[in-house]
């Protein structure tokens, strides 16, 4: 891969200011003077972060792309460690508005109102574990993601997600995707307790349901038929979903399955 351009070539105003944090303050024209921005000593031109006035809220991260003039913003939910919002823009002034709103504790929808390039995921920021609400908002995030997906097989994926959400037994489980297959857990993130079955669209208009991720499963012509088979494969006696508090071993958190 070719070497990226020098930062001064893509971000002359950032290079002139000496750091991304300083450039954000400059473009905000005083609006960020009281906002604590932190930049790592190793890459001050490319990254910075800001804490929020809300004690349970994770910092907002701002990152500069290295091959194209663009900035990414993102923030995670503390309990599940999944994104609350994200977005990309080539307008540093828009980034400054996001930084101000996040620091002030504005909800994700109001952050988007301040800077429309930001996309809330639908997840709720919680100050304490609440498995029922985490499950409900994870379904909302999954449906939002499916609705915005631009892949050729996106319509089938949306159909599958909506068909599973319509079934109460699945709606009460914690949903997640792995390689775009729809899966379920009896515990929320960060430490899942995965249960069968697995659902996915084939990319050619069909659907499959299997008891395990390693199985080929049965083929179906509609999402509803695949979900009905998945319901038949669902184990009995799962009980209420619990918060998946990650166990610790030798001072480290156990790794959990990733998301597509």
Could you report the per-residue pLDDT of 169-181, keeping only the tens digit for each? Answer: 999 999 999 999 9
pLDDT, tens only, 23-33: 999 999 999 99
Residue with the bigger pLDDT between 255 and 41: it is 41
Q: Residue range 60-84: average pLDDT? A: 95
* Helix residue ranges per DSSP H, the chain: 7-10, 12-17, 20-28, 92-103, 108-114, 131-148, 154-165, 168-171, 223-233
Spatial distance between the Cα atoms of 121 and 133, rounded to a whole number of angstroms = 15
pLDDT score at 196:
85
Spatial distance between the Cα atoms of 221 and 4, rounded to a whole number of angstroms = 47
Task: Say if CB 169 and CB 183 are below 8 A apart.
Answer: no
* Helix residue ranges per DSSP H, 56-185: 92-103, 108-114, 131-148, 154-165, 168-171
Spatial distance between the Cα atoms of 189 and 50, rounded to a whole number of angstroms = 24
């Amino acid at each position: 891969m070719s070497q990226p351009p020098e930062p001064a070539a893509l971000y002359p105003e950032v290079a002139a200011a000496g750091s991304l944090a300083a450039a954000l303050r400059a473009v905000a024209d005083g609006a960020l003077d009281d906002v604590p921005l932190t930049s790592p000593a190793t890459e001050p031109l490319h990254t910075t972060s800001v804490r929020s006035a809300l004690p349970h809220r994770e910092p907002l991260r701002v990152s500069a792309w290295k091959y194209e003039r663009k900035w990414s913003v993102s923030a995670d939910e503390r309990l599940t460690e999944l994104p609350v919002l994200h977005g990309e823009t080539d307008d540093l002034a828009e980034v400054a508005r996001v930084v101000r709103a996040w620091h002030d504790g504005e909800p994700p929808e109001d952050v988007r109102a301040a800077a429309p390039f930001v996309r809330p995921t639908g997840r709720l920021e919680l100050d304490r574990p609440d498995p029922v609400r985490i499950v409900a908002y994870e379904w909302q995030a999954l449906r939002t993601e499916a609705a915005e997906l631009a892949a050729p097989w996106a319509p089938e994926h949306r159909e599958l997600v909506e068909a599973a959400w319509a079934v109460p037994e699945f709606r009460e489980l914690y949903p997640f995707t792995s390689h775009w297959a729809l899966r379920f857990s009896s515990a929320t993130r960060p430490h899942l307790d995965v249960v069968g079955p697995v659902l996915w669209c084939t990319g050619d208009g069909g659907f499959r349901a299997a008891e395990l991720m390693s199985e080929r499963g049965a083929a179906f012509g509609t999402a509803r038929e695949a979900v009905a088979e998945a319901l038949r494969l669902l184990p009995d006696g799962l009980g209420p979903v619990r918060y998946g508090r990650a166990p610790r071993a030798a001072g480290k958190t156990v790794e959990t399955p990733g998301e597509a």
